[in-house]
Structure formats: C-alpha cells, structure tokens
Amino acid sequence: MAKRGFLRAGARLLLALLGLLLAMPLALAGPGQRHYTVNGWGMAEGLPHPLVHAVAQDRAGFLWAGTWEGVVRFNGRSFTLFDRQNTPGAELAGVFSIVPDADGGVLFGTARDGVFRFYQGGWQRLGGDATRNLAVTTLLRDTRDGALWIASGPRLLRLDGNNRLQEVGASAGLPAAAITSLVQDEQGALLVAGEAGIHRVVQGHAQRWGEDWVPAEAVRQLRRDGAGGWLVAGDNGVHWRHADGRVEHLLPGKRVDAVARDAQGVLWMNLSSGGLLRRDPDGQQQLMPVSGAVSKALLVDREDLVWAGTTDGLYRVADVMASGLTQKDGLGSDYVRAVLQDDEGGYWIGQTNGLNHWVQGQIRSVRLGPGNAVHDTSVLALAWREGSLWVGTYDLGVFRLDRQGRVLEHIRVGSGDPPLVRALLPEADGSLWIGGSHGLVRYRNGRLQSYLGGPGQPAATVQALYRGPLGVLWVGTDDGMLSLDAAGKWRHWRPDKDIPAQYVFDILRDPNGDLWIASDRGLLRMQGGRFRVYDHALGLPRDKLFRIIDDHAGSLWLSSNMGVFRVARRELDEVDAGRRRLLSVHVVDKSDGMPGSQCNGASMPSGWRAMDGTLLFPTSAGLALVDPGSALATSSGGPPVSFEHIMVDGVAQRLRPVLRLQPGANRLAIGFAGMSFRAPDKLRYRYRLHGYDQDWVTAGSATEAVYTRLPPGNYRLEVQAMPMPLDWTAGSGIGSASLQVEVIPALWQRPLVQLLGGGLLLGGIFLAGWVRTARYRRSQRRLNQVIAERTEELSQKNQQLEIAGYRLEHLATHDALTGLPNRRAGDRFLADAVARAHAEGRPLSVALLDIDRFKLVNDTHGHAAGDAVLQEFGEILAGFVAEWGLFAARFGGEEFLVCMEELAVQTATRRMQELLERIRSKQLLLQSGAVLRCTFSAGVAELTPGQPAHALLAIADDRLLRAKHEGRNRVAGS
C-alpha cells in the first residue's frame, strides 16, 4: 500500500511538472496568443472535502460543487456549505451529480442518500422513502413533462410529478451496464450513455444511437458541443461529430472522463490519467497546471471560464489579458526592477539576482562583475543607446555591455554606503547621466562630475531622468523635481511648495508641452508652470504611481502597488473642463493574469512599451506583460446580482420574492453578491431602499445592506453591481436585482384601527357634548346661582389636566426605570442632530452601548437585581452626558444610545472610554449582600456627508458586535 501511494504521489508530481513545462510556451508567447491563468480552492478556502465530484451553475449564477462531505455554493469570494450537520433538510453527502432546474432550483444526486432539491433557500428530499438509500450516478430533468430521470449504476429510473418512482431501463431493453450520462436530443428523446455505448429511448423502447460515428465501446460522457454537434468522451479518446456531419477522433488510445467546448472553440478534457487538457481550434494542446487528479467535474460557465474538480479541490481556468515571466520561466528572481527592449527586439530584465536577456522565447542569465569576478547583484536601472546596454546596480556601480551581454566598461560611483544607481540617461555625445542615492553625476571621457549631492549642492536621491525638447533635463527625486536647461541653469520644484508631491518617480512630456509626472500624490499634469493633480478623489484607486506609458491609442498606463491603471486622455481633459466628475479607471492586476499586483518603482525604466504594443511592467512577483488591446475589451452586460441571505434580528429567513417583516422587527440585514467569477474583487456595489432612502447608498466592495426599525410600509430594495472602472451612468455595464420588502404594521398602526379609534373618539366627544348640553338646558334656572362656583371648579380641573399632560408627555418620551429618554425620543433627537450636522457641516458621532452579560445578572440574582443595575447605569450615564453636554437614551433592554454633536469619532471614542472607566469603577451592593461590577461594550461611528441616520446606526451596531466578539468591556471606534 505504501509503495502504491508513493507511486501515485510520484505520478501526480510528474503530471504537475509536465503541466508547468507545457504551460511555459504560452507564458513566453507574444500578443495575439490567448493567455490563461489557473486558480484553485481547497479545504483552506472553505471546501469541506478536497475531492470535487461535480460542478454546475444555477440560473442565478451561483456555482455549486459536490464533495464527499456535502455540497457548497460559491459566489466567487466565499463558499456556503450545506450538509446534514448545519442545514435542516439537507441530509446529504457524497454529491455526484448537480443539475440546475429551470425555475432556479438545483437538483443533487448522491452516492447513498438519494435525490435532493434546493429551492429559495429550502431543501427537499425527492421520491420519499423510495429514494432514501438510492445511489445516484447522474440526473436529468425532462423538458417535456418535468419528470426526473435518474441513473443508479446500471438502472434507469423515472420520478414523475407525483413523486412516484418507476424503473424504466430493463423494460425498455437497455443493457445491464453502468450509465454515465443522460441527455435529451433535439426531438426531446432520451439518450442514455454508459459502459454499453449510447442508446436512444423512444416511447419506452431503447435502440443503439450514433453507431455510424461512435464505436461500440464504453462512454464516460455524452455532451453537446454548443454549436449543434456532439462530443463523446470514452476509453478511446474523444469522438466529435460537428453540426455539418464531420467527425473527428481526438486522443486515440487515451481515456477521457469528461469533455466540454468553450465559446472560442477550445476543447477541454479531463483525462483519467489525471490531467486537464486544453486543445485549441488549430490543434495545439496544453496540459493545464492543476493540482491533483481531475474528476468527472467539468464546466464552462456563462463567462466562458472553465471549472474542473480534482482530488485537491476546485480549479478555475480563465483566459486573461495579461501574462507573466517568473523564476520558473528562467528569470533569476521574481522581484523585477527594470525592463527595456533593445533595437533588435530583445528584452533586458533587471531583477534582484542580476540581469536576464529574453530573446526569441529564450531567457538567459547575464553575469555582472568587475574583472573576472562573477556577482549576482540587484539591477535597478537600464538604458540602451547605439548598440550598448548600460546597467545600474545596487552596490557595484554601472556596467556597459555589448549586444551579447559582455562587459565592456565598469564605472564605480560614490563611496561608503552602497551607491544605489536608480536612473541612467545616455546622451548623444557619449556621456552618461547617473542618478541614485549619491545624487546625480555625469560620466564623460572616463571622468565623473557631480551635479547633486556634492559639497554645496542639494542632496536628493534621483529616481527618474528624462530628456525633454529644447535641451531640458528633467530629474525626479525624493525631494520634488529639478530641471537643468541648456544654459546650465538649475531649477528646484520643492515638495508642497512648488510641486504638490514629495516623490517624483517618472516624467513624460507631450508634444504640446504638457509634462506628466508620476508621484506619490497621484498623476500630475504641468501646464504653463501650474500643476493639476489627479488622485483618489478623482477616481484613481491609488495615489502612489511609478511609471507612465503612452500606448499611442489614446490612453496613459500608470503602474502602482495595486496593479496597472489605464486612464483615457479624453477623460483627463473632460475632468479639467468640468464635464466629468470622476475618471473611469480600468485596473489590470493579478486577477487579469499579471504575476503580481504590486508593481515596482524608484527604478528606471519601471515599465516599457514594446515594438508590438505589449506593455511590460516589473512587479514583486515577476515581469507582467499586458496586451492593451485585450485590456480594452469589456463585457457588454452587467454582472447578475443575487441575494444570498436575509437576517431579521439575527435569525435567517427564507429567500422569497417578497419579504414580510412582522411588527417589532428591529434589524434587517440582506446579503447580496454579483455573479462574476472572472474578477469578483473588482465588483463594486450600491443599493437603495425605494420608499425609504432618498439616494443610493454606496457600498464599495461590501455585500450587505442593513436597516434598523423600518416604519410600516411597502419598500423595494434595489442592488446594483458594476465591475471597475465605475461609471454608474452607463446602464449597459450594471447588473441589478430587486427584493420587495413589506413591513407589517402593529395593530394600533393599521389605518382601519386608527380610523375606528378616531371615530369612537369623535363619537364620544359628540355624545359628551350632547349630554352636557341637555344638562345645561335642564339646569338653566340654576345656572346663574352656581356659575361662580362652577367657574372655580373648571379652573382647578384645567390646572390638573395641564399637570397630567406634562406627566403624560414625560412618560411618553422617557424610560420609567432609568429616567433617561426612551427610544422614541432618541430617534427624534438623532434625526434632528443629523439634519443639523449636514446643514452646518459639523461633525456628529453616535455610540451604541450594551451592558455586558446582563442576562447572567437576571439569571443569577433575579430581575430585581437587573433593574437595580439598569437604574445605577442610567444614573451614571445621565450624569456623564450632562457633564459633557451630550445626549443619551435607552434604546431598549440593556442597550443605550449616546449622541455626541460636534465630536469626531476619535474624540467620541475617548469619551466612551472615559464613561467605561467610570462605570466599571462603581460597585453595586444588592439586597442579598452580593457586590456587582458593571461593564459595557460600545460601537462608535461618525456621520459622513449625505449619510442617513439609519446607515450611521448600522455602522455603530456593527462595531458594537465587533467589540463583543473581541471580548466585551471595550469600545470599538473604527
């Protein structure tokens, strides 16, 4: 057994290495080639078992994967597990077949637990006791009558609409052989594929199908090709009958367990030997680098992504707009610092372990060192001129190399600490500008002349050199920017005084004279000596930029620590003209095929536009190659949006088209997800509760909408999702979903009850008036005698009523136990405070406080002790807010609201921390003699411009929950 396991492990390792080797030509391919990236998810990411048997996509767009330990639903970011331990009704394991239903439900066939159906959040076992212990191989929903076809080993069963199970295979004349696939043909007839080939079942009779093109052999899968043809995977490869009748036989002699065709005509095949094979329309094949042996699980989803299940988890293969070179391709290090292309088309790549030369698909190392020594030093700068390559290093100075990479000259720069050479600029006269930690020097005729960093000269680290027209030399440093004109005059743009930046990493000049600058404060444009800043406030995902490349197609490409940003020049001009508020920035990062999202800067050049238009960017994980033409291609439709969960006061609810909230419901949380598996981290969301929210609530990447204490009424929650770059005015790229929400009023809130109560009140008033009038008429003769007495009596009653009115008003707005304002008064005060803060532009913070372990006090010492704790807490809180001019209210139970006008969240958090210290320093002596100390947990949030009160409370509530999860007795303020 040990030997067999060792051989199996060795085979898997060999397969993985073969996949990597076969993948290498694609990594080195140029533009025009399709690039692929492979991502995997295992038990560490949420799978309950590493072996994935089946994978499918439902109508809403969710991905389902079946394993030995239940089934998971995937939204692109996280898995939701359904099994017998955590899901009522889902007593299933060993899920081998997953079939989406047309109504949005999903069918599941299991190894020993029968058939289950998931619909709107609920689970149902189909077939009752007849299928309870049934081993299901595969399933098919009949499109004609809705019956369910079930394959169980060699048996073919039919489950009708009345939940009756009938055995069909034997009576139809099917051979007693294992069934692997069930499909309906164009006429709706059932095709049964398996160990005995393929049979067509019509009116209860089976006959051989496809004899003219499929040999009589075992079939592992029968599938449509999506273009009118058929694909048959079996022990002798794949037989493909095209729509025009043409037949191809692929991989003869190899067993293929599953096959699928994507929208580009590429075939994907799961080999029984363990690999996922890709076959292009031109016949080229590649074994994809997935881990583990593949199963029969194979799917091409709606985004044309390929999903495969293996013994190590779930894998996604995606065609991407970028690719990369790494150490496995031959680079000396994955940490790449500089890149350029020479005049013959070869690429020179500087990295932390030296220099690489990439030409004609081959990468070789170029050793650098003085004399006969060989060193692997970090290469920070490259420059090419007239057949020579200049190389700037971390600690060895500068080398000049010939086309073959032979060292022709070595220049030592500076002394003492390693003189980091970050920028090089060769001139037409044969001289060389050398910039780095030593400042700036010029090498000419074997001599070095210092311009920066020498005695009496400004000290700065040079990071960029650029020769503009009219003989001006531009210098980017860590202390702003400098220029040297043709007359030898220097000018220094000092940080925050002359230029709105500290670090200048790259400089590019337009023919019209505009100067573009990549800095730590964003993209700068200098026009006529003035600077325009484009940063996060205008839509850039990151302010620190390293490199600017013009693609000569109307866009600038900017490298950063969060990928590469494409910005259209037209949009920059529209922002300047006031016709556009935000830039629509297209982000290319690791999810698009780059080896890493962190691009490197402070070196030169930290990006290059190749002769064929490819853009190359050094990253911390390899050299990224971006095809700008592919990057411009975007999907025409928006991502579908689906609701994932609904929680009412912490209790999960069924997902139904209309959500009805019963009276007294406090907190509503609705989770949602955009169904885009290509780049889910690039999705951004906004939502709006029509009938409640005045405007859209921007959620960013958050996927939950939270509301508290919704008034009775009918609402509609609309959620929108859009991939970056964001432009909410472009309806074509936005996906949306809606959910009806009905808040049922309490009995006293219903119009009929209110109308009836009003009628009774008016009737009572009328009756009282009529009786009183009758009495006045009967006592008219006595009226003059007692008028003085009655006037006095009425005056006293009016005074009593006024006093009672004051008492009723106080009772209506204050809590009887603590004496603090109640929830009604708190909501009214908060609404007024939010309105004042928005109108006056002043800060406003709120805190939600919850007494820790209050239920334990009631359970241990009785409710009288709990009331005593609340009274003591209320007295301390009332004194504290009076001392600081704040407002507090009891929100219900042991929860309190503190409203802090004109306080930012940092100050408000300190106030609550002071209150916490005061509270827990108090001792409460109970009648029983026990001594209690009280603590609380609190969440503090600050109002943001345009934010409604309920959203502010929701943030405070989330931070309160975080404070409790982190151990209670604390304040969470950010």
Which pLDDT tens digit goes with each residue over 309-342?
Answer: 999 999 999 988 888 999 999 999 999 999 999 9
Mean pLDDT along residues 484-500? 91
Contact present, 316 and 38 (Cβ < 8 Å): yes
What percent of the chain lies above the pLDDT cut of 90? 64
Mean pLDDT along residues 717-745? 86
Which of the residue ranges 359-368, 382-391, 775-784, 839-848 would you say has the lowest mean pLDDT?
A: 775-784
What percent of the chain lies above the pLDDT cut of 70? 90
- List alpha helices for 169-314, DSSP H: 169-172
Residue 764: pLDDT above 90?
A: no
Residue 825: pLDDT above 80?
A: yes
Which of the residue ranges 282-286, 484-488, 501-505 would you say has the lowest mean pLDDT?
A: 484-488
Mean pLDDT along residues 501-510? 95
Contact present, 130 and 93 (Cβ < 8 Å): no
pLDDT value for 787: 60
Q: What are phi and psi of 223, to 5 degrees?
A: -150, 145
Q: Chain centroid to CA 872: how far? A: 46
Per-residue pLDDT band for 738 (boundaries 50, 70, 90) equals very high
- pTM score above 0.85: no
pLDDT value for 374: 52
Contacts 24+ apart (CB under 8 A), 447-451: 448/411, 448/413, 451/484
Mean pLDDT along residues 880-903? 91
What are the tokens at 63?
């991905």
Mean pLDDT along residues 226-250? 95
Comparing 292 with 375, the larger pLDDT belongs to 292
For 353-366, what is each residue's pLDDT tens digit? 999 999 988 999 99
pLDDT value for 882: 86
pLDDT value for 615: 96
pLDDT value for 142: 94
Residue 28: pLDDT above 50?
A: no
Residue 18: pLDDT above 50?
A: no
Comparing 808 with 180, the larger pLDDT belongs to 180
783: enclosing H helix or E strand: helix 780-813
For 570-607, what is each residue's pLDDT tens digit? 999 999 999 988 888 999 998 888 999 999 999 999 99
pLDDT value for 768: 77
pLDDT value for 933: 85
**Cα–Cα nearest to 461, from 411, 414, 396:** 414
For 371-416, what is each residue's pLDDT tens digit? 545 567 899 999 999 999 999 998 889 999 999 999 999 998 876 5
Residue 864: pLDDT above 70?
A: yes
Task: Spell out a b/e string for 828-846, using b for 16 or more CB atoms within 10 Å of the CB, else e.
Answer: ebbeebbeebeeeeeebbb
Apex CA 950: angle with CA 828 and CA 714, to 5°?
Answer: 95
pLDDT value for 455: 60
Amino acid at 799: Q
Residue 556: pLDDT above 90?
A: yes
- CA 127 – CA 835 distance, rounded (Å): 59
For 851-860, what is each residue's pLDDT tens digit? 999 888 888 8
CB atoms within 10 A of CB 640: 18
- CA 321 – CA 323 distance, rounded (Å): 7
912: enclosing H helix or E strand: helix 905-920
Contacts 24+ apart (CB under 8 A), 146-154: 148/107, 148/115, 149/182, 149/190, 150/109, 150/115, 151/179, 151/180, 151/182, 151/192, 151/194, 153/178, 153/179, 154/178, 154/179, 154/194
Per-residue pLDDT band for 258 (boundaries 50, 70, 90) equals very high
Paired with 512 in beta bridges are none
pLDDT value for 416: 54
Comparing 927 with 972, the larger pLDDT belongs to 972
Mean pLDDT along residues 871-879? 91
**Peptide bond between residue 618 and the one before it cis (omega within 30 degrees of 0):** no
For 148-187, what is each residue's pLDDT tens digit? 999 999 999 999 988 899 999 999 999 999 999 999 999 9
Mean pLDDT along residues 678-684? 87
Per-residue pLDDT band for 2 (boundaries 50, 70, 90) equals very low
pLDDT value for 454: 59
Which of the residue ranges 98-102, 266-270, 380-384, 791-795 would you say has the lowest mean pLDDT?
A: 791-795
**Cα–Cα nearest to 746, from 663, 667, 659:** 663
What are the tokens at 972?
């969470």
Comparing 288 with 748, the larger pLDDT belongs to 288
Mean pLDDT score of the chain, rounded to an integer?
87
What are the tokens at 158?
């039919």
894 is catalytic: yes
pLDDT value for 638: 82
Amino acid at 931: V
Which of the residue ranges 26-35, 211-220, 395-404, 743-752 would you say has the lowest mean pLDDT?
A: 26-35
Per-residue pLDDT band for 4 (boundaries 50, 70, 90) equals very low
Residue 474: pLDDT above 60?
A: yes
Contact present, 608 and 538 (Cβ < 8 Å): no
Residue 681: pLDDT above 90?
A: no
Which of the residue ranges 386-400, 510-524, 771-785 would you say has the lowest mean pLDDT?
A: 771-785
Paired with 567 in beta bridges are 556
Q: Which of 69, 571, 644, 894 is catalytic?
A: 894
* Residue 139 burial class via C-beta count within 10 angstroms: exposed 0-12, middle 13-18, buried 19 and up: buried
pLDDT value for 798: 52
pLDDT value for 806: 47
